Amino acid sequence: MRYVVDWFTEWGQLEQYATEWNQLAGPVPFRRWEWLAEWWRHYGQSQQKRRSLAVGVVKSPSEGVIGLAPWYMEGSVLGGRVLRLLGDGEVCSDHLSLLCQPGWEQHVGEALAQSLVARPTNCPNRRSLAEQTGNEPQEAIDSLFCCPNRSAFPFGWDLVELADVDVAEPAVEAFALAMAKRGCWVERAPAGHCWVIPLPETWEAFLQMVSRTHRIRLRRIDKRYFATGRAVLHTVQRSDQLAWAMDLLVQLHRQRRRDLGQPDQFVSDRFERFHRQLAPKLFAAGLLELHWLEVDGQPVAAEYHLLGKKTIYAYQSGIAPTAQCDSPGQWVHLALIRRAIQLGYQKFDFLRGDEPYKAHWRAQPQPTETFRIVAPQAAARWRYGLVRTLRVLKSWLRRCLGRRPKPLVLPCLSPSADSAPRAENPFQILSPRNQSPLCSASSRRHPTETAHNRFKEQQVAFAKDEEEWIA
């Protein structure tokens, strides 16, 4: 069966696919049309000199739209032309991926890979072509027959970087394998972790999951403050409450960060504008909840949550410790996790970041990884080789300065998963043409193993600390 990939460079052209987009995004709010449309409005259109939209819509003659590549292209002198996922950067959108109907991952991956590799090398870019013909970019390409294959990607590209995607994400795995089969270099590197609490059916069952001293402390806080009405959790119920709740969140977040001597997320005006304009849209769609906790009538914590079908995503927070409430983060999590269980949610996702408190609540680390796929052209490979050398050099300098280096790479996908030999060193990168090692990173633990070991160490540390809490 032949699949068609239509590429779009103007967001207005994609509005006709908003419904299909959200259907393919599933229950993950970071993948939805509302989130990514607002992201492009603030982080894409404002940087048009170096960023351009490049969204691919994969269509089947019998099924219609079966997949989407939510990408943009970013250009630089050193890195070249890089395709990235919409929503990346300082917004910290987690669980991003290629979008496709369940069961169609391989078809979507093959169609996108064929589209990227099939582009003729002498095809000019759409903008210059449109200026020459006076037509719309897509019409210009079609009218000059520069790209005989309608599905061919209309730009030159050097690298596809899919950052911080979930490990074993089916659509990304299928796409990476399809690209490797077509002669592209594919590198996968460990990234951070998303920490997720699997929620039981009852609050009492959850209390049995945590340590004994933590359980005693939570029950004491509940009895002395929540049961007596001194601590009250509030949730925004109407759209006219959003602005006040956002003001409180920003205020508490900034106050806490300044007390710790750290920069706050809202120091970026663009970041704050993004969320203030996005919040009413997410609230109207039932995807956003803003909470704040009051102790003796004084706000001490605020939480910004995104909602999935059976998952709550704890996106942003702000706290202000007081004499009565010395650990407002713990108090508000007590109230919010219990509320999530009562509402029937199955997961509470703390998202990215290895902060110790997440393991304390029995959250489990879910590893993420970054894929870097290099175009088969020699110029793209030389360029990426230079970039990677600089990255290795930077890691070496950090090690020399006593800083902990970031893990470099995980195993590479070879063109044929069945026939290609495996590298003895699991951190080697294999050439897609001759399967010979190109380079290797120093041996180190797999990130998942490292996270689980850190998880165990944190439990021991918290067990000791909790004795002081009880006292």
Nearest to 279 by CA among 34, 45, 91: 34
Q: Output the DSSP codes for 162-206.
A: EEEEETT-HHHHHHHHHHHHTT-EEEEEEEEEEEEEE--SSHHHH
Q: Are residues 172 and 204 in the same domain?
A: no
The tally of domains found in the chain comes to: 2
pTM above 0.95, yes or no: no
What's 213's domain CATH number? 3.40.630.30
Residue 9 lies inside a defined structural domain of this protein: yes
Q: Are residues 338 and 236 in the same domain?
A: yes
AA identity, residue 175: F
Q: Which two tokens stand for residue 63?
A: 């099924």
Q: Are residues 81 and 218 in the same domain?
A: no
C-alpha 241/C-alpha 235 separation (Å) is 9
Q: Are 309 and 281 in contact (CB under 8 A)?
A: no
C-alpha 272/C-alpha 262 separation (Å) is 17
Q: Are residues 329 and 406 in the same domain?
A: no
Residue 70 lies inside a defined structural domain of this protein: yes
**3-state SS, one letter per residue, for 210-242:** CCHHHHHHHHHHHHHHHCCCCEEEEECCCHHHH
Residue 131 lies inside a defined structural domain of this protein: no
- Reduced to 3 states (helix: H, G, I; strand: E, B; else coil), residue 75 is strand
Helical residues (DSSP H) of 293-377, grouped into ranges: 328-342, 356-360
Residue listed under structure tokens 């490979």 = 381
C-alpha 17/C-alpha 150 separation (Å) is 19
Residue 361 lies inside a defined structural domain of this protein: no
Helical residues (DSSP H) of 308-446, grouped into ranges: 328-342, 356-360, 378-400
- Reduced to 3 states (helix: H, G, I; strand: E, B; else coil), residue 57 is strand
- The parent domain of residue 337 ranges over 200-345
Q: Are 287 and 217 in contact (CB under 8 A)?
A: no
Residue 360 lies inside a defined structural domain of this protein: no
Residue listed under structure tokens 């205020």 = 251
Nearest to 240 by CA among 298, 293, 290: 290
Residue 450 lies inside a defined structural domain of this protein: no
AA identity, residue 404: R
Q: Are 26 and 35 in contact (CB under 8 A)?
A: no
Q: Which two tokens stand for residue 111?
A: 């169609």
Q: Are residues 295 and 423 in the same domain?
A: no
Instruction: Report the relative pairing of strands 311-319 and 347-352 from DSSP bridges.
Output: parallel
Residue 335 lies inside a defined structural domain of this protein: yes
pLDDT tens for the 471 residues of the chain, in order:
688 999 999 999 999 999 999 999 999 999 999 999 999 999 998 777 789 999 999 999 888 999 999 999 999 888 899 999 999 999 999 999 999 999 999 999 999 999 999 854 444 444 443 444 344 443 433 332 233 345 678 788 999 999 999 999 999 999 999 999 999 999 999 999 999 999 999 999 999 999 999 999 999 999 999 999 999 999 999 999 999 999 999 999 988 888 777 777 777 889 999 999 999 999 999 999 999 999 999 999 999 999 999 999 999 999 988 867 889 999 999 999 999 999 999 999 999 999 999 999 999 999 999 999 999 999 999 999 998 898 888 888 888 886 555 544 444 444 443 433 333 333 334 344 443 333 333 333 444 445 545 545 554 454 444 444 433
Q: For the chain, first and last CA: distance in Å?
A: 69
C-alpha 148/C-alpha 166 separation (Å) is 36
Q: Are residues 245 and 383 in the same domain?
A: no
